[in-house]
């Protein structure tokens, strides 16, 4: 990227979340990811530079160890000319959804340059072929069992299902999503199918579909947009059934979506060959009762073979869902068990503020930091070291609970010889695929009190609203 040649006309608005805004390049397969700030809360350009580096280091040295080489992509921090940034910021402003505009794009001079994951990464030479990418933000896939939990309901109904009630009440979404992360993470094909169908029907911000890098389905905003399943099926029809003269209509939509869900399930359960370093850590056991949520709309009676539904996770050890779930489960104490440890550290820092850097609370996120994450013991000896280890594990878990999985599919022609592991067979055609994880930002230490308050707010609201229903 040559600074003197930066032309805002080659970049267009791609999407944004709560913390960052993304623009994509029209020709090369890269995106720029900018930080966002509330007006007048901007950081200095040095602070932004440091923060972006921390995010990348956290992805590279920490999250990659948990999630595996193949799934996590590298980026770099780039310096950009200020006049380019000003023009770009103006250019994209009108495309930003209103609900996201309370924060502004950072124009202090630095951004992250990342591969555009809505274009197939593994096979860049196939760029001219159609490509569909499906982004799923799965959220937390297990029920916590920590002894510190004071509200019994948390051990029965998952966070996502409870949070729905608050989101609807606050008007964030109009309709309840019947998606439950525990169905997706179950490894049971019927439950996964049910979860993915519900994600398609009420995507909220948990599912997006891109065609050739452009958003064609899912919420750009918190309002319903692009949400016509018939239209989505229409886009996908010739992709999945190239030779078949499927007529449009209800039956066609059903067939196409079934095919999409089948392929997504296959990819999500696909074993990756790479070895994540954290693979050497003892896996966190997924005990009975942690894999089924009573808030789920899935009826177990629906299961064809109902024997081992609610027992083990059934996720193959190398698949992306398994790895994501293992990282999420580093939250072993739950926020209720963690918050007192945060207060312990805060009290200590009041007395010894200079110790903050030795505790590595703000990084550096390197090998040493990773080594300190490995201790999974839950025996609290009252030490600061124990508290810090649990806090850092919690931050990794929170990142894994908030990341997105991007699955890209492009047609594979019969005569081509690809590594068979990258080919996914549909019923009428084959696809090469790639899977990546994005949004691996570290969650700040300072966020813990906020998380604690939010947890009780979600639970209290849930209990209140089900009492009102009775
Ligand atoms: P959140 O509010 O979920 O924490 P965020 O502010 O951290 O979001 P991201 O999720 O990283 O922001 O980016 C916003 C959106 O931009 C993503 O949902 C995705 O659609 C798109 N995006 C981000 N990074 C990439 C990438 N490398 N390639 C393609 N699209 C991307
Ligand atoms: Zn649930
Ligand atoms: Mg995101
Ligand atoms: Mg994020």
pLDDT at 122: 55
Q: What angle do CA 112, 116, 120 make, to 5 degrees?
A: 150
Nearest ligand (C-alpha, residue 208): 1
Instruction: Collect residues with CB below 5 Å from ion ligand 3.
Output: 17, 439
Q: Peptide bond before 364: cis, by omega within 30 degrees of 0? A: yes
Using a 6 Å cutoff on CB, does residue 135 contact ligand 1?
A: yes
Gap between the Cα atoms of 267 and 434, Å rounded? 9
Q: Decide if pLDDT at 190 tops 70.
A: yes
Nearest ligand (C-alpha, residue 17): 1
Neighbours of 439 (CB within 10 A): 18
Instruction: Collect residues with CB below 5 Å from ion ligand 2.
Output: 158, 161, 180, 293, 295-296
- Cα 220 to ligand 1 centre (Å): 11
pLDDT at 129: 76
- Cα 405 to ligand 1 centre (Å): 10
- Cα 368 to ligand 1 centre (Å): 28
pLDDT at 303: 58
The phi and psi torsions of 217 (rounded to 5 degrees) equal -150, 135
Using a 6 Å cutoff on CB, does residue 133 contact ligand 1?
A: no
Q: Decide if pLDDT at 312 tops 60.
A: no
pLDDT at 311: 45
Q: Under the phi-then-psi rule, with left for phi > 0, alpha for psi from -120 to 50, and beta for the rest, what region is 204?
A: left
Which two tokens mark 66? 């948990």
Mean pLDDT, the chain, as a whole number? 88
150 CA to centre of own chain: 28
Specify the higher pLDDT residue, 80 or 174.
80
Gap between the Cα atoms of 198 and 178, Å rounded? 6
- Cα 17 to ligand 4 centre (Å): 7
Range in 48-52, 80-84, 410-414 the model is least confident about = 410-414
- Cα 284 to ligand 1 centre (Å): 28
pLDDT at 280: 62
Instruction: For residue 223, name the pLDDT band (cuts at 50, 70, 90).
Output: low
Average pLDDT over residues 4-30: 92
pLDDT at 242: 77
- Residue percentage of the chain with pLDDT more than 70: 88
Gap between the Cα atoms of 53 and 362, Å rounded? 12
Q: Decide if pLDDT at 275 tops 80.
A: no
Which residue has 């990084």 as its token pair? 363
Instruction: For residue 126, name the pLDDT band (cuts at 50, 70, 90).
Output: low
Beta bridge partners of 211: 132, 214
Contacts of 326 (CB under 8 A, 6+ apart): 66, 278, 283, 284
Gap between the Cα atoms of 312 and 188, Å rounded? 10
Nearest ligand (C-alpha, residue 179): 2
* Three-class DSSP labels, the chain: CCHHHCCHHHEEEEEECCCEEEEEECCCCEEEEEEEECCCCCCCHHHHHHHHHHHHHHHHHHHHHHHCCCCECCCEEEECCHHHHHHHHHHHHCCCCHHHCCCEECCCCEEEEEECCCCCCCCHHHCCCCCEEEEECCCCCCCCCCCCCCCHHHHCCCHHHHHHHHHHHCCCCCCCCCCCHHHHCCCCHHHHHHHHHHHHHCCCCCEEEEECCEEEECCCCCCCCCCCHHHHHHHHHHHHCCCCCCCCCHHHHHHHHHHHHHHHHHHHCCCCCCCCHHHHCCCCCCCCCCCCCCCCCCCHHHCCCCCCCCCCCCCCCCCHHHHHHHHHCCCCCHHHHHHHHHHHHHHHHHHCHHHHCCCCECECCCHHHHHHCCCCCCCCCCCHHHHHHHHHHHHHHHHHHHCEEEEEEEEECCCCCCCHHHEEECCCCEEEEEEEEECCCCCCHHHHHHHHHHHHHHHHHHHHHHHHHC
Which atom belonging to ligand 1 lies closest to the Cα atom of 36?
6
pLDDT, tens digit (0-9, with 9 covering 90-100), for 408-427: 998 887 666 667 778 888 88
pLDDT, tens digit (0-9, with 9 covering 90-100), for 342-383: 999 999 999 999 999 999 998 899 999 999 999 999 999 999
pLDDT at 239: 84
- Cα 15 to ligand 1 centre (Å): 7
Average pLDDT over residues 224-250: 77
Gap between the Cα atoms of 243 and 231, Å rounded? 19
Instruction: For residue 310, name the pLDDT band (cuts at 50, 70, 90).
Output: very low
Provide the CB-side half-sphere exposure for 44 (13 A, CA): 3
Average pLDDT over residues 308-315: 58
pLDDT at 341: 98
ipTM (interface predicted TM) = 0.99
Average pLDDT over residues 316-331: 94
Which two tokens mark 53? 């580096």
Provide the CB-side half-sphere exposure for 311 (13 A, CA): 5
Instruction: For residue 228, name the pLDDT band (cuts at 50, 70, 90).
Output: confident
Which sign, positive or negative, has the C-alpha torsion 150, 152, 154, 155? positive
pLDDT, tens digit (0-9, with 9 covering 90-100), for 136-159: 999 999 999 999 999 999 999 999
Tell the residue nearest (CA) to atom 20 of ligand 1.
15
Q: Which of 75, 24, 39, 13 is nearest to 439 (CA)?
A: 75
pLDDT, tens digit (0-9, with 9 covering 90-100), for 105-114: 999 999 999 9
pLDDT at 297: 93
Which two tokens mark 40? 């007048």
Q: What angle do CA 121, 122, 123 make, to 5 degrees?
A: 95
Range in 63-72, 120-129, 258-267, 438-447 the model is least confident about = 120-129
Using a 6 Å cutoff on CB, does residue 116 contact ligand 1?
A: yes
């Amino acid at each position: 990227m040559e600074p003197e040649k930066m032309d805002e006309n080659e970049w267009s608005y791609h999407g944004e979340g709560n913390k960052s805004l993304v623009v994509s390049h029209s020709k090369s397969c890269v995106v720029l990811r900018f930080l966002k700030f509330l007006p007048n809360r901007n950081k200095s350009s040095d602070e932004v530079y440091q923060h972006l580096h921390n995010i990348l280091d956290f992805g590279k040295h920490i999250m990659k160890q948990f999630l595996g080489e193949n799934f996590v992509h590298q980026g770099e921090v780039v310096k950009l000319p200020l006049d380019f940034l000003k023009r770009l910021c103006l250019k994209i402003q009108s495309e930003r959804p209103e609900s996201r505009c309370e924060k502004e794009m950072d124009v202090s001079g630095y951004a992250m340059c990342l591969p555009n994951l809505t274009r197939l990464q593994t096979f860049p030479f196939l760029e001219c072929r159609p490509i569909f990418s499906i982004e799923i933000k799965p959220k937390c896939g297990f029920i916590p069992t920590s002894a510190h939990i004071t509200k019994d309901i948390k051990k029965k109904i998952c966070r996502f299902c409870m949070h729905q009630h608050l989101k609807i009440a606050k008007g964030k979404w109009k309709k309840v999503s019947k998606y439950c992360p525990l169905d997706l993470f179950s490894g049971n094909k019927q439950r996964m199918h049910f979860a993915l169908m519900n994600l398609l029907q009420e995507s909220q911000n948990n599912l997006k579909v891109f065609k050739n890098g452009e958003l064609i389905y899912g919420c750009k905003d918190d309002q319903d947009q692009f949400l016509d399943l018939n239209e989505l099926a229409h886009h996908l029809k010739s992709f999945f059934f190239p030779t078949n003269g499927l007529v449009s209509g209800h039956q066609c939509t059903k067939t196409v979506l079934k095919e999409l869900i089948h392929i997504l399930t296959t990819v999500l359960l696909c074993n990756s060959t790479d070895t994540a370093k954290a693979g050497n850590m003892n896996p966190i056991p997924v005990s009975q009762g942690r894999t089924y949520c009573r808030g789920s709309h899935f009826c177990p009676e629906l299961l064809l073979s109902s024997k081992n539904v609610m027992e083990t996770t059934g996720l193959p050890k190398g698949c992306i869902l398994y790895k994501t779930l293992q990282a999420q489960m580093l939250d072993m104490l739950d926020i209720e068990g963690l918050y007192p440890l945060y207060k312990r550290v805060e009290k200590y820092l009041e007395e010894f503020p200079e110790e903050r850097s030795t505790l590595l609370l703000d990084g550096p996120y390197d090998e040493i930091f990773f080594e300190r994450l490995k201790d999974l013991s839950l025996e609290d000896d009252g030490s600061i070291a124990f508290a810090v280890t649990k806090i850092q594990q919690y931050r990794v878990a929170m990142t894994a609970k908030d990341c997105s999985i991007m699955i890209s599919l492009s047609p594979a022609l019969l005569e081509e010889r690809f590594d068979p592991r990258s080919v996914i067979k549909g019923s009428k055609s084959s696809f090469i695929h790639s899977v990546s994880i994005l949004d691996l930002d570290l969650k700040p230490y300072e966020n813990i009190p906020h998380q604690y308050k939010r947890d009780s707010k979600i639970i209290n609201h849930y209990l209140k609203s089900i009492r009102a229903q009775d």
